[in-house]
Structure 1
C-alpha cells in the first residue's frame, strides 16, 4: 500500500533529523540550485530571502511565498516598502535586542504591519564589537578578537540558541506562528539575518525534510549576500582610523559551519537528538511539526 503524503513527510523529517551528517542523495545538486535561494532585492537590506524553493527527500518542494528570512529592516526605502508590500506579509518577527534596535532603528514596514518583538540574546556580541571598535586601540582589539577568540565567541553565541530558555521560547513561538493553519506569510529577522535567523531557517528546512547539505547551503548563503556590505563596513572603519586591522571582525561578520555545529552538538548533548531538541527543548508537539510540514511542503 502506498504511503500517504503525511507519512512520506514524516519519513523525510525523521531521515533529516536522525542523519544530520549524511550527504544528500535525493536529487542532483543542479536541481536544487535552480530553484533555491530566492533573494529579495532591496536597497535598505541585503539578506532578505524567501525560504521556499528547496526540494525535500520525498521530491516535494518547500512552498514559496509563505516564510521569509531577513536582516534589519530599519533602513528600507520607499521602493523597498513597495517590494515588501508585494509579499503580502501578515507578520514580521524581530529577534533583535533593544541595543540593536536603538543602534539600527525600528523596522520600517508597509502600512498596517507592526513588528512582533521576540528578542533573542546575542550573548553580548554587539557590545563586544562596539567595545573593540570604540577602543581605537589595535593592541586591545587584537587581544579581544584575535587568535581565534572572535570565532570561539561566535560558537558560544550559537550554543545559547539551545541553552537559553528564553531564546528557545521565542524560536518556538515563531515556529508555532508559521505552523498555524491559515496563517499569512511571515518574515523573521535579526540584525544581519545570519545567526539567529540562520539557526531558525536551518531548523525549519530540516523539519520540512530538506537534505542536510542544502539546509547548510542556505545557512552559508548569508556570506554571499552580505560580502560586499560587510567589506565596505570594514574599509570604512579603517579609513576612519577606528581599526588598523578590521579583518578581526570577519569571524563575527560571517557564518561558518563550525558555529552551526556548535549549536547542533549542544542540542545533541542536552537532548540526545535534534528531534528531541524540537520536542523537548522547544516544546513543539509532533502535531505542530506535522502542521508545519503540511503548510510548507507542497
Structure 2
C-alpha cells in the first residue's frame, strides 16, 4: 500500500491531502516555437512539450468576432508546475516567461509544493478558493468506505458541488479580486505569462474563458478551449482511478469523474452567475472584477494580433 501511494502524484482536486497522486507525463507535441495550427482549431501543436505536465498549452490561434486572432506565444495555461523534472523546467525556460500566476490555495501549495520555475521567472500568488473541495475529497477517499463514498458523491452530489464551486468564482469577493488581479497582471505584462491551478481545468479554465471572451473570442470557441482539458487529462485521470482502486481506497473510482472532468454545465454555471449578479458579461468585467476600460484595452492589445 505504501509503495502504491508513493507512486502516485498530485491530481485534479489536490487529493494530495490523502497522498501524492498520479504524476502526469507530458504528451508528445511540437516545440512551443514550432508550427501553429490554423486559427480556431484545437490540435496537438497547441499543447506544450513540457515534461511533467499533460495540460499545458498556448491560448493563441483563436479567432475573434472581428476576424483577428489571439497571439501565439504570449499567454499560456497549465496545471501545477510543482512536479516538473529538470527537463520540464528547461522546456519552460524556452517559453521566455516573465511571470507565472499561481491560483492554488495555501493548503494546496503546502501539500503539493511550490512551482519549479526557471531562474528569473516571477511567481505571482493569487489564490482562488476551492470552497473546501480539497478537504472534502480527501476526507471521502480516505474513508475507504464505498457506501459513504457513494452517499457523498453519487446521485448528482459531486456535480452539485462542482456547480457550487463555479458559482463561487463569482459570488466570493476574494475570488473576484484574485481573478481581476490576474487579468490586470496579464494586461500589464511585458513578457509572456502563464497561469495555473492544480489540474489546470477549473480555476484555470474559468480565467482562460474570461480572458478569451474579454478580448472578443466567441463564447463557443472559448468553451472549446475549456473542454480540451478532458482530452488532455484522460490518460492520467484513468491511471489515477486505477491506482485508487488497486490501493483499496475506492471500489468505484468512477464516482470521481464529475470532479476530475470539466463539463459544459460547470462553465455555464459560472457564466450564468456572472450575468445574474451583474447583468451582462461586460458589467461583470467592470464591476465584478474591477477592470477598467484602459486595462481591457491593454489586455486586447496584449492578447490579440
Shared fold per TM-score greater than 0.5: yes
Matched, 1:61 2:69: yes
Q: Which residue of 2 aligns with 1:151?
A: 159
How far apart are the structure 1 equivalents of 2:112 and 2:232?
19
Offset at 1:103?
1.9
| Distance (whole Å) between structure 2 residues aligned to residue 144 and residue 158 of structure 1 | 19
Could you tell me whether the CA contact under 8 Å between 1:36 and 1:54 is conserved in 2? no
Q: CA contact under 8 A between 2:51 and 2:91: conserved in structure 1?
A: no
Cα drift, residue 286 of structure 1:
1.4
Q: Determine whether 1:99 maps to 2:107.
A: yes
2:266 paired with 1:254: no
What's the counterpart of residue 167 of structure 1?
Answer: 175
RMSD across aligned positions (CA): 1.4
Q: How does 1:176-255 map to 2 (within 5 A)?
A: 176-180=184-188, 183-255=190-262
Is the 8 Å Cα contact of residues 54 and 61 (structure 1) preserved in structure 2?
Answer: yes
What's the secondary structure of 1:260's corresponding residue? helix
Say if 2:95 is the partner of 1:87.
yes
Question: What is the TM-score of this pair, normalised by structure 1?
Answer: 0.87
Query: 1:37 deviation in Å?
Result: 7.0
- Asked if the contact 1:70–1:187 (Cα under 8 Å) also holds between the matched residues in 2, the reply is yes
- 8 Å contact from structure 1 (residues 37, 218) kept in 2: no
Which secondary structure does the structure 2 equivalent of 1:283 belong to? Answer: coil
Deviation, 1:288, is 1.1
Moved over 3 A (4+): 34-37
Contact 2:89 2:118 in 1 (8 A): yes
Alpha-carbon distance in 2 for matches of 1:31, 1:160: 32
Query: Contact (CA 8 Å) 1:119, 1:170: kept in 2 or not?
Result: yes
Deviation at 1:110, TM superposition (A): 0.7
Residues 31 and 43 of structure 1: is their aligned pair in 2 closer, same or farther, counting only changes over 3 Å? closer
Partner of 1:280: 287
| Map of 1:124 onto structure 2 | 132
Distance 1:35 1:44, change over 3 A: closer
Question: How many residues get paired?
Answer: 268
Q: Take 2:85 and 2:44, find their aligned partners in 1: how far apart are those partners? A: 26
2:84 aligns to what SS in structure 1?
Answer: coil
1:49 and 2:29 aligned: no
Q: Compare 58-67 and 37-46 and name the one that shifted more.
A: 37-46
The equivalent of 1:4 in structure 2 is none
Q: Identify, as 1 or 2, the structure richer in helix.
A: 1
2:304 counterpart residue number: 297
TM-superposition CA deviations, 1:14-58 (whole Å, max 9, x none): xxxxxxxxxxxxxxxx85216797111222111111111111112
Larger RCO (alpha carbons 8 Å, 6+ apart) = 1
